[in-house]
């Protein structure tokens, strides 16, 4: 028996029922079904939930209603806004429409929904469109909002179907306004949504919605004029994408909560995916541990996933040993607290964090409060400020406890990229100017050689801070300023003393040299950092790929990493089996239209990809071949040749960091190399498995053909013989007749069994085993499997033992009992009549195990492995084996166990034999426990009639 959920008190439910009946006043409301006492329940609410008007919620609701009405369910339409659309109007045909009531308000007349009438009508399911609608004042019932009408109907025990757009949820009203700039006035309390019994998400890709908009298929109400423009208004692509995400997340959160409730009910501890993700920024600081713990508490409260991230920047590449140890300790702590840990690299910690958070759909970032002095923040910019400035829709939580360690201090290079170009030149020239002024007014008594030294120092600083170009310009400017302002004759560029020409030359030369050296040092640091970044990425890829089990998994891992690395769309494909030139896309990230879409550009991209895969050389952007294409394509070359292709879309000019010729390409190349060998590994395994299966099938096919001829004929011979003897009825006495008749019946049923097994064997052989899996219990399967053995089992010592904690299994109910049937048949056949046989079942380590045991002679070690081979027959059959072809086996071709194996495997399980203790043999099979287990009905108390009466 599967564990039943905790008993849930039903008293309040019953109370509610009486209340609602009192309110309705109808004396017939409590006569549910056949008059048993199960009714009185609150109606179930199903919400068809969508991101925006026009996705087809009403249509989906009506379609579901029609389906149910077709099955004989009493469906009534309370109110549905068709907005005059023929498509929707048509869906209403044949449904029972409840009459609307006319209400006058401010000089106009409105047709409104009447909940009381609906309750009097008492349908099984009532459709009430647009949950967030506000009622016209004066509507029947006097409830201002439609959701209150809905609750009223639910309380009366009527199931309600309704529709809702995400922007009408109260808690995200603000968010929606931020995204769309539209303030939604009609909202419903989140509670109504949370408590819904079923949510059906009606989803539509943004492009499709735009198409519908353009085709005029969406009713827009009064806001039509400003909303209709797909480029600018409410239906702008960005808006819709955000609303769609909100809708998806809310639905996911709802499902999560259901799952959570279910898990709590059933005491399941396994970690299930949750909707929300929280990111915590970790640093080598000793305070970071506190920060991680705080984030963990927050994540636990929100049932969110926690990701701990350390951002490595050029400045933090070289941490002290002590810092590195502390960092590792902090990351270990995070990992121990259940967080996923990641190290990312980038030039700007805040920017990288936000980018990473967006890539992983993180909604909240937790960072530590820094203990840095105010003036440093003012001068250099605060990490937290930058983070908040960039965060947009991501919430930033600043928690006390982290001092300013590397994460925060890494915010300094934020100025570098912008200053590198023109500001660098301006700043170095300004520095030269400043020194010139200082020289004129402060150092006028100094030796000219010393002044020259100061100029040189400026050049060196410019080289260090701003790079080569600004340093060269500073050198030239310094020489010019020195000549003009200090070297006699002053205020001219003329030079009286020829020896100053040497000074100029040395100044210029030293300046250029220093500039070159400094910029080279900078370049080396940058490369070292890039290498670090590549290595980290490679390591992560290798780690993930090692766990991949099939080509699809390998592809999606490679694509995800390529995407993360390049911040751009990636795609992994291989040659399709059909058609020599076609490509099969195994995985793609982001919006794959640039590659997979129709039109000339994606077509061209695919052409470039085909070239790359055919020639085994990289092509596309960043290469010599076809560099004008959007993507950079790397063939995945493994030992046996090209196994696939990794393509990355290069975003030109999107970020100065991404230069198609740079280290990023090298990193992508590294991913490609690893993906290639991983892909080859899984493809080899797949093909090996395929050829093994093919060989097995061939063997089975041959064996089947040869056995059909003689094994089927044996019972047939018995039947024919007995029947023809009976034909000469005159010469037989009554007892012989009975005996012959029994032979006919028994042999027929044996023939039937053989045929059943043959059918299964043929299905297994043709690979046509596609189990129609349904939830069921082990008892049920055992019961059906034993049904045809009832005769044989009577009089034998036989028992069934199924542990209480065995969960439900998902199997094909027509196929799976054959396993039990065959195992029992096997046990009965090879054991003496006076020995015990039995079935035991229990749950262990994620599997349900069923054991069919006997106390017969048992199996030899050699036999334990051989029994599942096709047509192997046990010892009691030794005689027939030695005389193959003359005597049929009692086993009906020895197919039984093979079929068990085939059926169990088709269900993802495992079957094996082992000795039974103290004696005999046992055959065991295990099936993985499927999650989530199905929702269970509420446990009730048993009552007898006498108790009920009192």
Partner 1 sequence: MSGSQLGRAQPLDRPVHMPLVLIIEDEEPIRRFLRATLEANHYRVKDAGNASDGLLLAVTAYPDIILLDLGLPDGDGLEVTRSIRKELHVPIVVLSARGQETDKVVALDAGADDYLTKPFGVGELLARLRVALRHAAQRGGRSTEPSTLYRSTIDGRSLAVDLDARLVHMEEAGGKREIRLTPMEFKLLAFLVKHAGKVLTHQMILKDVWGPQHVNDVQYLRVYAGELRKKLEADPAQPRFVITEPGVGYRLLAPDEL
The residue ranges that bind partner 1 (CB under 8 A) are 1-2, 4, 33-34, 36-38, 44, 46, 68, 71-73, 124-125, 159, 748-749, 752, 756, 759, 772, 774-777, 779-780, 782-784, 786-787, 790, 793, 800, 802, 808, 812-814, 817, 839, 934-937, 940-946, 948
> In the complex with partner 1, which residue's Cβ is closer, 198 or 229?
198
Residue 71 or 321: which CB sits closer to partner 1? 71
Q: Min. distance of Cβ 41 from partner 1 in angstroms?
A: 9
The residue (of 668 and 740) whose beta carbon lies closer to partner 1 is: 740
Please report how close the Cβ of residue 867 comes to partner 1 at its closest, in angstroms: 24
Distance of closest approach, residue 768 Cβ to partner 1, in angstroms:
12
Q: Look up residue 134 and give its DSSP letter.
A: B
**CB of 346 within 8 A of CB of 306?**
no
Q: Which residues contact 619 (CB under 8 A, 6 or more apart)?
A: 608, 609, 611, 612, 625, 626, 629, 633
Least distance between partner 1 and beta carbon 828 (Å):
14
E strand or H helix that includes residue 913: strand 910-915
Residue 920's contacts (CB-CB under 8 Å, 6 or more residues apart) are 831, 835, 853, 854, 855, 856, 857, 858
| Distance of closest approach, residue 937 Cβ to partner 1, in angstroms | 5
Closest CB to partner 1 among residues 149, 159: 159
Nearest approach in angstroms of CB 770 to partner 1 is 12
Whole-angstrom distance, CA of residue 140 vs CA of residue 254: 32
Nearer to partner 1, 666 or 787 (CB): 787
Least distance CB 44 / partner 1 (angstroms): 6
Q: Which is nearer to partner 1, 67 or 109 (CB)?
A: 67
Q: Distance of CA 613 to CAs 566, 569, 642, 757, Å?
A: 21, 19, 7, 48
Closest separation in Å from C-beta 154 to partner 1:
13
Query: Residue 156 or 665: which CB sits closer to partner 1?
Result: 156
Which DSSP string corresponds to 266-314? HT--S----S-EEEEE--SSTTHHHHHHHHHHHHHHHT-EEEEEEEE-G
Nearer to partner 1, 157 or 635 (CB): 157
Q: From 219, 199, 187, 237, select the one nearest 89 (Cα to Cα).
A: 219
Contact (Cβ atoms closer than 8 angstroms) between residue 474 and residue 428: yes
Cα separation, 241 vs 51, whole angstroms: 9
Instruction: Give the whole-angstrom CA distance, residue 90 versus residue 12.
Output: 42
Measured CA angle at 67 (ends 62, 72), to 5 deg? 120
Nearest CB to partner 1, comparing residues 690 and 814: 814
The token duo for 714 is 């044996």
Spatial contact of 928 and 810, defined as CB atoms under 8 Å apart: no
Residue 303 in tokens: 């049932």
Residue number, 258 or 777, with CB nearest to partner 1: 777
Nearest-approach distance from CB 202 to partner 1, in angstroms: 18
Q: Strand, coil or helix: what is 928?
A: strand
Count of alpha carbons within 13 Å of 108, Cβ hemisphere only?
Answer: 5
3-state secondary structure 543-559: HHHHCCCCHHHHHHHHH
To partner 1, the closest distance from the beta carbon of 729 in angstroms equals: 16
Compute the least distance from the CB of residue 635 to partner 1, in Å: 47
Q: Identify which of residues 68 and 117 has a Cβ nearer to partner 1 in the complex.
A: 68
* Nearer CB in complex with partner 1: 2/368: 2
State in angstroms the smallest separation of the CB of 35 from partner 1.
Answer: 9
Distances (CA, A) of 448 to 428, 440, 461, 474: 21, 11, 20, 18
Q: How far apart are CA 856 and CA 864, in angstroms?
A: 14
Question: How many Cα atoms are found within 13 Å in the side-chain-facing hemisphere of 209?
Answer: 29
């Amino acid at each position: 028996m599967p564990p039943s959920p905790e008993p849930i008190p039903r008293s309040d439910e019953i109370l509610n029922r009486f209340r609602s009946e009192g309110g309705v006043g109808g004396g017939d409301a409590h006569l549910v079904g056949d008059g048993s006492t199960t009714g009185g329940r609150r109606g179930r609410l199903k919400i068809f939930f969508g991101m925006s008007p026009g996705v087809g919620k009403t249509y989906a609701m009506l379609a579901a209603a029609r389906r149910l009405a077709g099955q004989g369910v009493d469906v009534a339409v309370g109110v549905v806004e068709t907005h005059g659309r023929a498509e929707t109007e048509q869906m209403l045909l044949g449904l029972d429409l409840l009459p609307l009531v006319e209400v006058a308000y401010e000089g106009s007349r409105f047709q409104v929904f009447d909940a009381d009438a609906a309750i009097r009508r008492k349908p099984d399911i009532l459709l009430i469109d647009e949950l967030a609608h506000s009622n016209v004042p004066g509507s029947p019932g006097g409830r201002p909002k439609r959701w209150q009408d809905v609750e009223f109907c639910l309380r009366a025990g009527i199931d309600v179907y309704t529709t809702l757009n995400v922007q009408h949820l109260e808690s995200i009203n603000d968010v929606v306004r931020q995204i769309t700039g539209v303030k939604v006035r009609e909202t419903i309390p989140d509670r109504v949504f949370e408590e819904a019994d079923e949510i059906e998400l009606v989803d539509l890709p943004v492009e499709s919605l735009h198409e519908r908009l353009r085709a005029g298929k969406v009713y827009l109400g009064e806001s039509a004029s400003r909303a209709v423009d797909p480029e600018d208004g409410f239906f702008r692509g960005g808006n819709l994408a955000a609303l769609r995400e909100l809708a998806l997340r809310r639905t996911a959160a709802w499902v999560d909560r259901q799952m959570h409730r279910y898990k709590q009910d059933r005491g399941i501890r396994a970690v299930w995916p949750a909707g929300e993700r929280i990111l915590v920024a970790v640093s080598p600081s000793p305070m970071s541990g506190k920060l991680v713990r705080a984030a963990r508490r927050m994540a636990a409260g929100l049932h969110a996933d926690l990701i701990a991230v350390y951002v490595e920047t050029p400045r933090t590449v070289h941490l002290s040993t002590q810092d590195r140890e502390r960092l590792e300790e902090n990351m270990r702590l995070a990992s121990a607290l259940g967080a996923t840990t990641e190290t990312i690299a980038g030039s700007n910690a805040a920017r990288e964090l936000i980018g990473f958070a967006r890539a992983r759909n993180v909604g909240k970032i937790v960072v530590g409060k820094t203990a840095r002095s105010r003036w440093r923040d003012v001068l250099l910019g605060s990490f937290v400020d930058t983070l908040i400035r960039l965060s947009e829709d991501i919430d930033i939580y600043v928690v006390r406890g982290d001092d300013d360690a590397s994460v925060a201090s890494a915010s300094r290079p934020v100025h570098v990229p912008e200053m590198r170009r023109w500001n660098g030149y301006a700043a170095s020239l300004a520095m030269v100017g400043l020194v010139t002024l200082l020289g004129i007014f402060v150092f006028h008594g100094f030796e000219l050689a010393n002044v020259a030294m100061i100029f040189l120092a400026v050049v060196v600083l410019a080289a260090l801070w701003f790079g080569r170009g600004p340093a060269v310009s500073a050198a030239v400017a310094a020489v010019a300023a020195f000549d003009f302002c200090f070297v006699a004759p002053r205020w001219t560029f003329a030079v009286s003393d020829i020896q100053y020409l040497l000074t100029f030359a040395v100044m210029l030369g030293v300046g250029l040299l220093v500039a070159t050296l400094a910029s080279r040092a900078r370049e080396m640091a940058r490369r070292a950092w890039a290498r670090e970044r590549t290595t980290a990425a490679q390591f992560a890829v290798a780690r993930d790929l090692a766990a991949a089990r099939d080509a699809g998994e390998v592809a999606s891992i490679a694509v995800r990493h390529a995407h993360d690395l390049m911040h751009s769309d990636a795609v992994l494909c291989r040659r399709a089996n059909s058609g020599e030139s076609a490509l099969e896309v195994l995985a793609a990230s982001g919006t794959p239209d640039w590659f997979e879409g129709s039109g000339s550009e994606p077509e061209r991209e695919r052409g470039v990809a085909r070239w790359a895969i055919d020639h085994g050389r990289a092509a596309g952007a960043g290469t010599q071949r076809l560099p004008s294409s959007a993507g950079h394509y790397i063939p995945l070359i493994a030992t046996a040749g090209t196994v696939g292709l990794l393509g990355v879309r290069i975003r030109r000019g999107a970020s100065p960091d991404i230069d198609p010729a740079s280290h990023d390409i090298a990193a992508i190349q590294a991913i490609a190399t690893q993906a290639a060998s991983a892909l080859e590994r899984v493809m080899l395994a797949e093909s090996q498995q395929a050829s093994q299966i093919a060989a097995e099938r061939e063997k089975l096919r041959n064996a089947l053909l040869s056995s059909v001829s003689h094994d089927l004929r044996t019972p047939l011979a018995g039947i024919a013989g007995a029947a023809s003897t009976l034909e000469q009825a005159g010469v037989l006495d009554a007892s012989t007749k009975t005996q012959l008749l029994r032979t006919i019946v028994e042999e027929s049923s044996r023939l039937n069994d053989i045929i059943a097994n043959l059918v299964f064997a043929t299905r297994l052989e043709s690979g046509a085993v596609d189990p129609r899996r349904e939830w069921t219990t082990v008892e049920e399967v055992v019961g059906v499997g034993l049904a045809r053995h009832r005769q044989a089992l009577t009089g034998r010592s036989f028992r069934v033992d199924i542990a209480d904690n065995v969960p439900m299994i998902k199997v094909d109910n027509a196929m799976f009992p054959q396993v039990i049937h065959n195992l029992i048949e096997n046990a009965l056949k090879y054991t003496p009549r006076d020995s015990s046989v039995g079935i035991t079942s229990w749950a262990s380590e994620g599997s349900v195990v069923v054991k069919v045991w006997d106390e017969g002679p048992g199996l030899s070690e050699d036999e334990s492995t051989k029994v599942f081979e096709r047509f192997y027959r046990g010892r009691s059959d030794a005689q027939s084996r030695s005389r193959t072809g003359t005597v049929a086996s009692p086993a009906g071709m020895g197919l039984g166990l093979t079929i068990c194996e085939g059926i169990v495997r088709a269900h993802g399980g495992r079957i094996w034999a082992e000795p039974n203790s103290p004696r005999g043999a046992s055959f065991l099979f295990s099936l993985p426990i499927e999650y989530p287990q199905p929702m269970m009905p509420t446990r009730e108390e048993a009552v007898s009639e006498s108790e009920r009466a009192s």
